[in-house]
Amino acid sequence: MSSKKIAIIIGSLRKESFNRKMANTLITISPTSLALEILEIGGLSMYNQDLDETPPTEWTEFRNHLKIFDGVLFITPEYNRSIPAVIKNAIDIGSRPYGQSVWNGKPGAVISVSPGAMGGFGANHHLRQSLAFLNIPTMQQPEAYIGNAANLFDNSGNLINESTQEFLKNFLDTFSKWVYRISVK
């Protein structure tokens, strides 16, 4: 069985973000059934429908690159009880022009990571609303709200909380099964 290629979309552009640290952790603990790769979205210019006929090069490259992935894993912080603009922008660019969405049918999952105790609950659910519209079959369980992120990593960005690491391994194992189940259809 070959590995399924999974795009990781990170909702924070900060170099030392907890979300990027989480993405790097997931790459290192991922089961061999998944090949996780960060797909950078920070260089995408803001979506403007006027540009659909002659899209900027970075939009075309992003869309083409996303097509090669079998699924997508969103890792998002919470900004004002919602998702960051950079994720919404990537979603819009990938879903356009109308009828040509590169997201369509790709199995997905959401992990929200926050220094707050609620773990980005609002952003996680807000993102799920958009994913439903985009026809991204999103794994429902286990839900992943990672709170108190400032206490989870050492100075080198390594996850040092064993219970969180065990939870994430279970999450990835379940996501792997989800991706393979959805990909068969």
Q: Six-digit token pair at 5?
A: 């290629």
Tell me if the bond preceding 97 is cis, omega within 30° of 0.
yes
Query: Once rounded to an integer, what is the mean pLDDT over residues 162-166?
Result: 95
Domains and CATH numbers, the chain: 4-184 (3.40.50.360)
pLDDT at 160 over 90: yes
What is the C-alpha separation between 105 and 177, in angstroms, rounded? 16
Percentage of the chain lying above the pLDDT 70 cut: 98
pLDDT tens digit string along 35-76? 999 999 999 999 999 999 999 999 999 999 999 999 999 999
- Closest listed residue to residue 11, CA positions, set 139, 173, 95, 123: 123
pLDDT tens digit string along 92-115? 999 999 999 999 999 999 999 988
Give the phi and the psi of residue 146 in degrees, each rounded to 5. -100, 105
What is the C-alpha separation between 183 and 141, in angstroms, rounded? 18
What pLDDT does residue 1 have? 62
The model carries a pTM of: 0.95
> Order of strands across the sheet with 4-10?
34-38, 4-10, 71-76, 108-113, 144-146
pLDDT at 119 over 80: no
